[in-house]
Amino acid sequence: MKKLIVFIMLVSGTFQASFPQNSSCRNITAVSQVVIMTEEEKVNHLIDYIRHLSGSVFIRNGKEYSPEKAADHLLSKWKKHKKKVKTAQGFVERLATYSKTDEPYMIRFSDGHMEKCGDLLSLELQRIEI
């Protein structure tokens, strides 16, 4: 039985695996790169995420809006308040969850189920921060 020894190196944020010369796997290299987003990039990603929820309806103060209109609304709130709200988490909690009337922003998906916008964006933020 042959033993396969794999060497893994971390070089400048990438993972590389190298295999011994006599291995049948010697031409395989695994590379993974970690991308670190700024808080501004995270917020822009979240707004873009809303913009591309095709088939869904954004509900604000009882009125229905397209995902594009919803994203434009959230972007305008972000531009107005980003000096006070410094993080993507703050954006979700303070700007993308409730209207001025304290009603939660809701999203109705094409299959009919509804979710709070803040909950949806919190999940997406967790996903991109991993």
- Domain containing 105 equals 39-129
Residues 61 and 120 grouped into a single domain:
yes
- pLDDT tens for 61-116 read 999 999 999 999 999 999 999 999 999 999 999 999 999 999 999 999 999 999 99
Average pLDDT (15-23) is: 50
- Whether residues 21 and 76 share a domain: the answer is no
Instruction: Show the DSSP H helices in 1-129 as ranges.
Output: 39-51, 67-81, 88-90, 117-129
Q: Are residues 16 and 68 in the same domain?
A: no
Query: Within this chain, do residues 54 and 77 fall inside the same structural domain, yes or no?
Result: yes
Nearest Cα residue to 109 out of 60, 50, 43, 42: 50
Do 6 and 56 fall within a single domain? no
- Give pTM, 2 decimals: 0.74
Is the pLDDT at 2 greater than 50? The verdict is no
Q: Same domain for 44 and 99?
A: yes
